[in-house]
Structure 1
Amino acid sequence: MKLYPYLYSAIASLLLTACTLQDAQKLPQLDSNQVSQKQLKVVNLDKTKILMGQTIYVPVYSHIYFENKKQAIDLSATLSVRNTDIDNSIIITSVRYYDTNGKLVRQYLENPIELGSLASTDFVVERSDKSGGLGANFIVEWVAEKEVSQPVFETVMISASSAQGISFVSNGRVIKNLSPKK
């Protein structure tokens, strides 16, 4: 049997992965929330035009334990906000980060921002930021002036070092539907 092609393929794959991780670690560090917010339009909210909206709870894990509670892996977390409507914008009015005890740690928006049709944005909690603890969460509020499809709210937690990594996703849950006054 000729196993050489498989062996060469496996070695090439390992080398490529190692090079990719090393190259990624050399990339310049970006301010975690400046990149995606630059393209977003700040809006003046006219509450009389609001047709629908929600408050969303999104779990965040700044670290996870392994083997015992004495060993933990620190994680970075990216909140991804995605407008799934093909034709209409939504307005993100608030993105707040809370710690394990329910205390407000950080508010990410000073003003409401418009998220165009099929657009997305993100908000990052850096791996070194332990202020949220194990039971942290985002509370996101959004509204729309027209009926729109349900946006998607997810956090992606990740940690990578050397050739090892871990990642997983938490989905947002609606905790309140907006009831505009008529």
Structure 2
Amino acid sequence: MMKYVLLTLSLSLFFTACQEQKEYSSVDPVNWGKRTINLPQDSLVTGSTYLSVYSQIYSQTEHVTHDLTATVSMRNINRQDTVYLTGAEYFDTHGNGIRTYFKNVIYIAPMETIEIVIDEHDREGGTGANFIFDWKTAPGVAEPHFEAVMISTSGQQGLSFATSGQRIE
């Protein structure tokens, strides 16, 4: 009887471990609700920024890819003024929307950085993934800065590189 219990337990653990776990992580598991804010009624400057992000890169040939972890940083480079994000959309290589990270306006305090982490096992973005960030600032305030750092390690080998956002509107 004990053999069957152990066999059943072992098989269930094996099959559970083999199932692919989809996990879309973000630093401090997406507490966007705590950052929600009602925009001030002042006239605000509106803009959009494009950021390329690689969840995979080609390795050896166009038929072999290497998965990467991406850390997307959204930075307020102002010492005294808050900036507001009205959208953060993630797209795949073909331009299809994958996910939107928050539905309400959020704030980034002066000199603060908030981050989105694209898990190494999240391959949805592919080799040409990208973000569009929509934001607002008070007139005369520096726009937010967006950058991504992609990294992967395997054994003693490491690979990392970074991209910076480009204002498109």
**Aligned Cα RMSD in Å?**
2.0
Q: How far apart are 1:36 and its partner, in Å?
A: 7.2
User: 2:159 is matched with which residue?
Assistant: 166
Q: Secondary structure at the match of 1:134?
A: helix
CA distance in 2, matches of 1:146, 1:53: 9
Matched, 1:95 2:99: no
Aligned mate of 1:44, from 27, 34, 38: 38
Decide whether aligned partners of structure 1 residues 99 and 152 sit closer, same or farther in structure 2, where only a CA change above 3 A counts.
same
- Cα deviation digits, residues 85-105 of structure 1 (max 9, x gap): 111000111100011111110
CA distance in 1, matches of 2:27, 2:157: 28
TM-score normalized by the length of structure 1: 0.73
Matched, 1:136 2:129: yes
Q: How far apart are 1:34 and its partner, in Å?
A: 5.0
- Cα deviation digits, residues 26-78 of structure 1 (max 9, x gap): xxxx97225175485210235x4242131000001111112212322101111
Which consecutive unaligned segments of at least 5 residues does structure 2 have?
1-22
Which consecutive unaligned segments of at least 5 residues does structure 1 have?
1-29, 177-182
CA distance in 1, matches of 2:166, 2:38: 26
Matched, 1:77 2:64: no
- Cα deviation digits, residues 133-168 of structure 1 (max 9, x gap): 111100001102342123210011111122211010
The 5 A counterparts of 1:15-54 are 32-33=25-26, 35=28, 37-38=30-31, 41-46=35-40, 48-54=41-47
CA distance in 2, matches of 1:44, 1:76: 33
Alignment check: 8 A CA contact 1:50 1:143 kept: no
Q: Secondary structure at the match of 2:71?
A: strand
Decide whether aligned partners of structure 1 residues 36 and 144 sit closer, same or farther in structure 2, where only a CA change above 3 A counts.
farther
Runs of 4+ that moved beyond 3 A: 36-40
Deviates more, 1:142-151 or 1:112-121: 142-151
Aligned mate of 2:61, from 64, 68, 74: 68
Percent same amino acid at aligned positions? 35
Tell me the number of residue pairs that the alignment of Structure 1 and Structure 2 aligns.
146
User: 1:14 is matched with which residue?
Assistant: none
TM-score normalized by the length of structure 2: 0.79
